[in-house]
Structure 1
Amino acid sequence: MSEDRRAAQMRLYLDEVFNRHDLSRLDQYLAEDLASHWLGDQTLHGLPAWKDAMAGFFAAFPDAAYTLDDIFFAGDKGVWRGTWRATQTGAWEGIAPTGRKATWTVMIMGRFAGDRIAEDWVEYDRYNLLRQLGGV
């Protein structure tokens, strides 16, 4: 898949999943046996685990919106960097609903197998997110 086509596919993925919170077509973008490494301290194995984690995130942050800042590809890998803005109205990672607005950055590197993400590494500014929610 060309880099331009992969970038277009990823922009569509980010819009559908991250901004519209539509988890119904994940199999179009993610491999069934996806390994998703979050902050180096946990790995989600398989598409169902990733879907459950994101459903919990969207339940806690129903207005979550993602702005893509950068995206690039090299070989079978790609990196996208962006900013989340959201209001916490549900419990998340042990923090009761706060009603607070938060803004934090995230960087994701994905490894592709064909036209789907087979593995990714997610790094986000957890400290500032937790600080804004009153968890630090």
Structure 2
Amino acid sequence: MSHDPVSVVRDFLRVVRSGADPRQADRLMATTVIAHQVQAEDPATITRTPREYAEHVEEMLAAYGPFRLEIDELFGSGDKVYARWTQNGVHVGNVDDIAPTGRPVTQVTSCVYRVADGRIAEYWIQIDRWGLRAQLAA
């Protein structure tokens, strides 16, 4: 496994975040990861373990089925890596108390990851949450 920050994030997105094998989170994430959820209406910072992150991905799989994650941009400088991706799935499970509609769902996300010692240690994530709600309510 390469410890280059861009390679670490690429592997993380392709293997863990994509839902291909969320259990690999412990290989690519620090023991505790600081997660900054950057959203205008309710910014929050939480900590997650790799196991908790894997459970989070499993929840996404339950909500959107075996979704497809396409990396749109990925580049880094020093220990920071910027990633933007598009995720396409189908609304097959409850999302924010909205019952499954069976509709296709697209999410656009950007994130800056900080990599330390070959593992993701911190990230700042922005997800188009209002766009998702509009798709689910349509």
Identity of aligned residues (%): 28
Per the TM alignment, residue 20 of structure 1 is displaced from its structure 2 partner at its CA by: 4.1
Per the TM alignment, residue 55 of structure 1 is displaced from its structure 2 partner at its CA by: 1.6
Deviations 1:45-103 (A, max 9, x none): 12133222222111111121111111111111111011111101011222221111111
> Paired residue for 1:59, among 49, 59, 62?
62
CA distance in 2, matches of 1:92, 1:100: 12
User: Cα RMSD (Å) of the superposition?
Assistant: 2.1
CA distance in 1, matches of 2:125, 2:117: 20
TM-score normalised according to structure 2 size: 0.85
Counterpart amino acid of residue 31 in structure 1: A
User: 1:9 maps to what in 2?
Assistant: 8
Task: Indicate the SS of the match to 2:93.
Answer: coil
Where structure 2 has 5 or more consecutive residues not aligned to the other structure, the ranges are: none
Kept in 1: contact 2:5–2:79 (CA 8 A) = no
> Paired residue for 2:45, among 33, 43, 46?
43
Kept in 1: contact 2:8–2:120 (CA 8 A) = no
Deviations 1:5-63 (A, max 9, x none): 43233222211123343111111111111011223433331213322222211111112
TM-score normalised according to structure 1 size: 0.86
Deviations 1:99-130 (A, max 9, x none): 11111210010111111110101101111111
Task: Indicate the SS of the match to 1:21.
Answer: coil
Per mean C-alpha deviation after superposition, the further-off stretch among 21-30 and 5-14 is: 5-14
